Each structure stands twice: as structure tokens, then as C-alpha cells.
Homo-oligomer: A and B are copies of this chain.
């Protein structure tokens, strides 16, 4: 089946029914995808402030307040407890469980944050003739915890997570300018070239996702990643934090171009 032609609503319904459990890159092509971070209300101000101070990895697309499960601005009719293929539960900084839905877990005091995702600019890359290896090879995008510090807020602190795409050296400038048009979904790269400069020891051993193979003349290019809150959860150790599983995103209604400048 070609999941690219699904509407966002159709894709969310398949996911809700347990019929589409896979990384979401390429599903409902052309539509924005979002990262998820759920926290209790008493940590919500500090986390929203953290996101405001770290817009590059944590651009906020929507926030669901207690009493609702629907991200009204970006996914009409969605239930955030069921419409992501896989969720991760962190307690005191430890990943304790991966679950298919949050129906029995969602608390009255939860606030859910939807955060921009770099999958949203991949169509623009493809349209510009730039290869996206993890789509070509049909695997989850490789993600790495860097040594780039975030600006802390309240208890939230830690280093930035980045996604990586191998880019032919003569298309690196184009990959930069094309993605810069999408600041609400991570925008331009944060680093081009030597992974060691940003604390990555082995570009073939990602902290999340799967490795992408390099062809001759390709350079690793790194973009800020909405999985950063999961790294932050590990270092900041809130009582509870629920996220999507890396690469398994919320498929949203807006099209990529809605977030272009």
C-alpha cells in the first residue's frame, strides 16, 4: 500500500485502529508531522519556557490543555491518546515502557505539547532534487545526542538532539537554503561536516533511529530535532514525561508550505 496518498485523517484513523504501526516519514505526504511531549501541569510553564528558549529543537506547533485530548490547531478530531503509533513513558528520567496508546494512563493534569518535526521539510528537499537517504532506504531517520547545550528553564536542561542526512557535497548549500525556509519545523541545519565537532563519536551508531549509509562524496548534515525533549527527560528526570517513540510522529492537517516563510 502507498501510505503517501492517505489524508492525515485517514492515516490517524488507521493508526488509532492499530493498523499502521511504523515510522511515519512518508505517510500522508506533504502534511506536517509533530513530536509529542506530555507533562503534568505543574511543570508546563517551565517546559513551555524551555521550548521558547530553544526554538530550534523545540518549535511549538500546538498545546493541549487539561480537559481536552485534541490538538485543535493542527489535527481536528484527533485524540492524542491513540493517534500516534508508539509512545514512550519516562519516569524520573528512565524509559520504563513503550505503549500503543495512553487510554489507561492519561491524567487529568496532563498538558501535551506538539513540536515541529524535520520530516516536514523533506518534501521540499526531494522537490529540489536533494536525496533523503532514510526515505530512499525506508528506515527510521538517524538521531544523535550532541554536546550542544540547550538554554535551561526550571528543571529542564541538557543537550540538543539532531537528525542526520547524508548530502552530496555539491548540494549542501541548497539543502541549507531549502530547509531554512521552514523555521517552524527546525529550519536550517545546526551543523555541516565533522560529527566530532558536536560531540558525535560514530555517525553510524545513532542514539535513536537507524544508521543511514553514505555514498561517495556525501557529507553528514545535522538538523535540530524534536526528540530533544526525550534527551531532556533523561537528564532532567521529571516524575513523569510521555513522548512519541522516535520516528513515530503525529500526522497533522497543515501542509508543509503552511510553515514556510
* Residues of A bordering B, CB below 8 Å: 41, 44-45, 48-49, 52-53, 60, 63, 65, 73, 151, 153-154, 183, 261
Contacts and interface: CB of A to CB of B under 8 A. Distances in A.
A256 B63 CA distance: 30
Contact of A63 (B49, B63, B261): B49
A171 B82 CA distance: 51
A186 to B, nearest CB: 15
Q: Which of A45, A53, A151 has the most B CB atoms < 10 Å from its CB?
A: A45
A248 B201 CA distance: 51
A154 to B, nearest CB: 8
A261 B183 contact: yes
Of all A-B residue pairs in the complex, the 5 with the closest CB atoms, nearest first, are A45-B45, A44-B45, A48-B48, A52-B60, A49-B63
A169 B49 CA distance: 41
Nearest to A51: B52
Given A261-B183, A261-B261, A52 B63 contact: yes
Contact of A48 (B49, B73, B183, B261): B49
A162 to B, nearest CB: 21
A163 to B, nearest CB: 22
Contacts of A154: 65
Given A53-B73, A65-B153, 12 more contacts: A41-B45, A45-B45, A45-B48, A48-B48, A48-B49, A48-B52, A49-B65, A52-B52, A53-B63, A73-B151, A183-B261, A261-B261
A63 B65 CA distance: 21
Contacts of A151: 73
A74 to B, nearest CB: 12
A41 B45 CA distance: 9
Contacts of A183: 261
A116 B1 CA distance: 48
Contacts of A60: 52
